[in-house]
Structures are given as structure tokens and as C-alpha cells.
Chain A
Amino acid sequence: MQSQHSNNYEDDQDDYGWPDEEDKEQVSYHHQFDNDEKRQLEKVQKLVELLGCSQDQGIAIMRFFKWNMDKLQNEWFSNERRLGIKMGIEFDNDLSKKFPLTMQSLAHNNQGYCMICYGQFSQKNKQDNMSCGHQFCQEDWRSYLSQKVNEGFQAVQSKCPQHLCNMVVPHSYFVKYLQKEDMKTYMKWFCKAYTDDNKNVRWCPYSGCDYCVEYQDYGESDVSCKCGNSFCFKCGSESHRPCDCKQTETWKNKNSAESENITWIMANTKQCPECRKPIEKNQGCNHMTCKMCSYEFCWLCQGKWSEHGQKTGGYYNCNKYEELKSKGDVKISKDETSRQAAKNELDRYMFYFERFNNHDKAEKHARSLRPVIKAKIQLLHEIKKYPPSELDFLDEAINEVIKCRQVLKYTYVYGYYLKNQKELNLFQFLQEDLEKNCDYLHELIEKPLDPYLDTNIVDRSTFYHFKGQLINYYQVTRKVRLSS
């Protein structure tokens, strides 16, 4: 049932792919439901043909080299035997000299007894052994492997039940002995081992997402997961373009180190510039309307919203931050200068942090809006009979807003670390452009869709007008995002 559901979901998602954007070779799949084991076994099969080994050995070799074929080809052929012992597919004969106990359960030592249950081998109680030769009765193999599987994902690395024996229990033994429920658990671990070990596979970092992405080139690049989110394949955290991983890491550390101060400085509320009532921002854009006095203002600079029209040189002029000019005319002592510099630096940081945080919050709002929009699409389809293909634009728009917010968020990190003045000007121009478009788009999509649901209104032109507007802005925003 669950698997069915997840597949449907994927099909939906496929329709809204962004093919022109991420055209590199990448595969996103659900690690349990999308035949993960098949992917593994196909790769193993290639190795089996190459080396002429068994499938069990192929799995062990692949795991040892963490599914990296290049490394495998470099190292395996020069050192087959030593590596075979190391990865547990060839018995280490030296053990018998060092630890005589290891030999106890071998056929010529065990006197027909199983060293686990101490029962005698017989027709009923048959023995079985891996290539190391340690014999145990079949019932005990079953109990042993079942125990291991229920202990956790390390089960795939289980060794022969004989103490100190280096042989790894092959895949086929689990398949042979495990029963229904245990087998299910084992396959879960089997798939997990692949995803965990393989450097070309990463889990989607978004909570509640069970997908992973397989990607061949693990440089710094964004991949998009089937859940609709995208993340950086190199560091495995959310997309942070235009910053690189290192900058992002530094920024995050800086935030966590100073965040207590910062959050203390800016609580989540601001006072209305007109009536001084504290206001909490709970929607995505900067256009605030005070509920008490209906005063409209900009959340960031707290200036009048009317001044933010296009006439006055763009909505977001307040975002340009110019460093405070140091007071050169007064003679300031050395202490004073350094204090001033520290203060300027903190101001600068706060400027960028505040805006980073702002977009982060907006991004979260947009994310929470996504399911609402989905439901609305469904309603529009059911009540007003719009074909689904005519409604896709809503979903595309909200996804675009999320992506834009993500990019914008990190443009402030990028800006914070950007020291070159010329580049900074150009960068700020682009940033402003994107911000303007994104905010407008965000505001459009946040407007309630309910009027379009009214069955009494037959005229669809308002809806189509809205749609046209939204699509237009969606496309503009997208263009701006991709160009910057």
C-alpha cells in the first residue's frame, strides 16, 4: 500500500521536473521502494562478470571498496589474497596458529557436535558451513542470523559464529535462512548499507523525506530530490548557491556562536512605526499592514510602504547597506577606533544576518504553503473543473518561491564574504532584482484562492487574469534567478 502511494507521488513529481536546469546525470529514488536492491545487484553482476567470482563475494568486494569501481580496479588485482582475508571472503589460515580455539568447530575437531547448541549433527539436525569450514546446525544459523538482523544495521557485516573467524556471512545465507519478517528487516539493512557506503549516493537532508539521490560527479553542485527540495551534493545540506560549502559552513558556525546575542538583539517582534504596538511577522513578504492602525510599512527598514513604490527606485532600496562612515574629522584614540571597528563589523554582520534570517523564515512559510496550495489545486479541479494541467502553474510558482528564497538567503552570506567593491555593486543589483520579483511572486501566491472557488461566478476571466499574472512573474523570477 505504502509503496503504491509513494510511486504515485513520484509520477506526479516527474511531470514538474526542471529538465533544463539539472540536466546532469542524477537519479533520485526511494531507498526502500524503488528496487534499490536491484540497483545494487546489477552493479554486483558486472563485477561478477569481470572477476569471475560469486555474487556473495561480489557484494563483499563492492562494500569493501564502498562501490567505487576505480579504487577497486586499482587495488584489487594487485593484492587479491590479502584483501580477500581483510574483507572476510577468504579464510585467514594464520588464525589457526594464533588462536587454536578458532578451529574447534571444524568438521575434524567438533566430534559431530554443533558448538552452539551442543547437539549432535544428524539427518534431522543437519550441519552447514561457510567456506571457512566452521560447522553449525541449520537451526542455529537461523537463530544466529535472526538475532543479528534484529540487533541493527550492522547485521550485514555479521561474521561466522566461530569466535575470531574472519569470514563474513554472505548475502545468500541471509536469503537462505531468514524468514518473512526478519528477511524484510534484512533487506532494509541491505539497502541502507548501499546508501550509507556509497559516496555517489546521499540521503535527502529534508526531514520526513525517505529518498536519496545518486549522482556521479560529487563536486559542488545542487541536486533535486523527488520530494521537490534540492540540496548540495557535496556537503549534503540544503542548497546554498551562490556560496560554496566552506563559506556556508563558516557562516553557520558564526551564526551558532553569535546567535544568542543576535536573537537577543532582535526579538521576533518589531514595533509598528506608527502606533508602537509590537508586531510579529507571520507571512512571507515585507509589506506589513498593522492590524491596529492600518499603517502600511516595510518590515525591514520600517519606512512607509508608499515610499517603496517603483517610482522611488525599487521596492527594496532599503536593502542596500552602506557601511557606516567612520568619523574621520575627530581625533579618535586607538581604543576608540578598534571599538568602532568592532561595532561596525557587528552592524554589518547583523545587517546580513537579519536579511538571511528573514529569507529563511520566508522560505519556511513558503514550504508550509505548499500543502495548502496542493489542496487548493485539488479543490479547483473538483469544484470548478479546471483540468489539472491548467493548474500546475500554482505548484510551479510556489516551488519557484521556495527556490528563490533559498538562493536569496545565501546571497546574503555570499554578500557578507564578498570584499570586492565592484563585484559587490553588480551583485547587489542582481540580488535586488531577484528579491523584488520573488517578493512580488510570493505575495501573489499568498493571496487567498477562495474567490476563484465560488461556484456562483461563472466568469473565469478573473482567474485567468490571475493565472496570467502569476505565470508572467513566475517566468520573470525564474529567469532572474537563473541568470544571477
Chain B
Amino acid sequence: MVDNGRIMKELKELQEATKNVITTSYQQQSNPITLQSPTQQVQASIVGDNLRHWTGTIFGPKDTCFEGGIFKIDIEIPGEYPFKPPKMRFITKIWHPNISSQTGAICLDILKNEWTPALTIRTALISLQALLCAPEPDDPQDAEVARQYKSDKKLYEYTAKMWTENFAKEQTVDDKVKKLMEMGFPEDICKEALERYDNDENLALNFLLGG
């Protein structure tokens, strides 16, 4: 039943899809007007040389609190795969009713009893992306988030955006400078502080406040 052939093929397909994204976004970059992030795509790669341990990547869907975020997902493929579902867990911290804010555990039917062997890692990742678009607070994994979602939607959106901002974004040096400047420090001093602490935002802020 252990069937590496299928896993190999799935991996190859995913990698090809990723390559296509890169080429398309490269083409898009040559035309700055239509420059867009490849939000509809998912990626996955193998961790070390264990064929049954992958890391998936999904991009936060547009017009949601997760837009612009890059979310990493830990994927473990059980021996009974594809007859049993892959085990998935968010590595990147995320504020979402169906995902534990502590452990990253996911509550999604197709990863549990609705799994069928005709599904793939790729379809599961796409479903996860869809879950980000449409949370289901009535079937929560994280009760606290779900409560917030139902009682104070604005606060939920704010928290989710903050979490995306803080945990799911690769920030460029310019972003960090901008952030520090918003706190009222002059631009050149901010740049200097960041440079001094190897672009570590927190240490730079400490330095600015202390100095």
C-alpha cells in the first residue's frame, strides 16, 4: 500500500506548477502595469530527504485579512496515504476561527472524514486557501477566535490583519524603516539603527528608545 510513486508524481506536478508561477510572474514583472502577486497558487516542497514530510506554502487570498501573507504549512504523509488524509498544520501563526492560534491545528472536513483517495496534497492546499476566504465560525478549532469573529467582527479583522502583518510577511528594509518612522524617529537615524542591528526591528527599536 505504501506508494511512493504517487507521492513523487504529486511533488513533480506541484513543482511544475510553481515553476509556471515564477515564469508568469516574471513575465508580468516585465509589464509593471499588470504586476500582481500570484495569489491563486499554492506550492510545496519536500523537507530534507524524507519523501513523507513536506512544507506547503499558500498565499493569503486577495480582499481578505490575510492578503499579502505567506503561510507555511507542515505536511506529514501517513503510511496509509492516499487512503488516509495527510496531516497538515500551520507553521506560520494565523488568526482564524478554524485554525488554532496556539498550535496551528486545522479544522477542515476534507482533512478528516471527508477525505477521499482521489484528493491530492495540492487540492488540500487549495481547499485551505479557500478556508482562509470563508471561515466557518460555527465549527471552530479555536474557540476564542470564533467568539471574537461572531461578537466583534471588526476587532477580529483587525487582529487577523495584525497577525498577518507580524507573522506572515517578509518585510523589506524599507517597510521596517517606514514603521520606525511612524513612531516618530527621523529617517536617517532609523536606517542607521537597523543597519547596526542587522535589520532586527525589535533591537533597533530598543536602541532608539534607549538612546
Question: Which of A's residues lie within 8 Å of B, judged by CB?
Answer: 101, 104-105, 115-119, 134, 136, 140, 143-144, 147, 159, 161-163
Contact = CB atoms under 8 A, between A and B. Distances in A.
Given A105-B118, A163-B119, A116 B82 contact: yes
Given A116-B6, A117-B6, A140 B116 contact: no
B110 interface: yes
Nearest to B9: A118
21 contacts: A101-B123, A105-B118, A115-B118, A116-B6, A116-B82, A116-B118, A117-B3, A117-B5, A118-B5, A118-B6, A118-B10, A136-B118, A143-B1, A143-B83, A147-B80, A147-B84, A162-B118, A163-B110, A163-B118, A163-B119, A163-B123
Given A147-B80, A147-B83, A161 B117 contact: yes
Interface centre among B1, B80, B118 (most CB of A within 10 A): B118
Nearest to B120: A115
Nearest to B126: A101
Interface in B39-93: 80, 82-84
Contacts of A144: 83, 117
A92 to B, nearest CB: 16
Contacts of B117: 115-116, 136, 140, 144, 161
Contacts of A116: 6, 82, 117-118
Contacts of A159: 116
Contacts of A105: 118
Nearest to A148: B83
Given A116-B82, A144-B83, A163 B6 contact: no
Given A143-B83, A147-B80, 13 more contacts: A115-B118, A116-B82, A117-B3, A118-B10, A143-B1, A144-B83, A147-B84, A161-B117, A161-B118, A162-B116, A163-B110, A163-B116, A163-B123
Contacts of A134: 118
Q: What range describes how many residues of B lie at the interface?
A: 10 to 19
Contacts of B118: 104-105, 115-116, 134, 136, 161-163
Which are the 9 A-B pairs with shortest beta-carbon distances? A147-B83, A118-B6, A116-B117, A162-B118, A118-B9, A163-B116, A115-B118, A161-B117, A163-B119
A326 to B, nearest CB: 54
Contacts of A119: 5
Interface in B1-45: 1, 3, 5-6, 9-10
Contacts of A163: 110, 114, 116, 118-119, 123
Nearest to B1: A143
A91 to B, nearest CB: 15
Contacts of A118: 5-6, 9-10
Nearest to B84: A147
A153 to B, nearest CB: 14
Interface in B103-125: 110, 114, 116-119, 123
Nearest to A113: B9
Nearest to A145: B83
B116 A161 contact: yes
Nearest to A154: B113
A117 B84 CA distance: 13
A144 to B, nearest CB: 6
Contacts of B10: 118
Contacts of A161: 116-118
A101 B114 CA distance: 15
Contacts of B1: 143
A291 B114 CA distance: 66
B4 to A, nearest CB: 11
A143 B2 CA distance: 11
Contacts of A140: 117
A14 B117 CA distance: 50
A199 B6 CA distance: 45
A118 B7 CA distance: 9
A162 B1 CA distance: 18
Contacts of A147: 80, 83-84
Contacts of B9: 118
Nearest to B5: A118
Contacts of A115: 117-118
Nearest to A105: B118
The CB with the most chain B CB atoms within 10 A, among A117, A161, A163, is that of: A163
A119 B7 CA distance: 12
A20 to B, nearest CB: 51
Contacts of B3: 117
Contacts of A136: 117-118
A88 to B, nearest CB: 14
Nearest to B119: A163
Nearest to B3: A117
B79 to A, nearest CB: 12
Contacts of B80: 147
A104 B119 CA distance: 10
Contacts of B119: 163
B130 to A, nearest CB: 12
A345 B124 CA distance: 63
A355 to B, nearest CB: 48
B120 to A, nearest CB: 9
Contacts of B116: 159, 161-163
B57 to A, nearest CB: 21
Nearest to A115: B118
A163 B119 CA distance: 6
